[in-house]
Structure 1
């Protein structure tokens, strides 16, 4: 796995925590960014 791939995985995990830990607004933003 390249450093870039590791960064992408960490970023996706962070977005996942945000979606679960915050209001539905964060999920909407994530969907808007096309990450889920």
Structure 2
């Protein structure tokens, strides 16, 4: 899974600044819900 995501970190979809943590079975990224802008995710 991490190898798959690693290919996309250089693009705007998943930037390095959005990556919070990664392990063997879990990847956490920061994201924004534009439908509800008052609630950060």
Query: Which TM-score band (shorter chain)?
Result: 0.3 to 0.5
TM-score by length of 1: 0.38
| Structure that is richer in helix per residue | 1
| Structure that is richer in strand per residue | 2
Q: Which has the higher contact order (CA 8 A, sep 6+)?
A: 1
TM-score by length of 2: 0.35
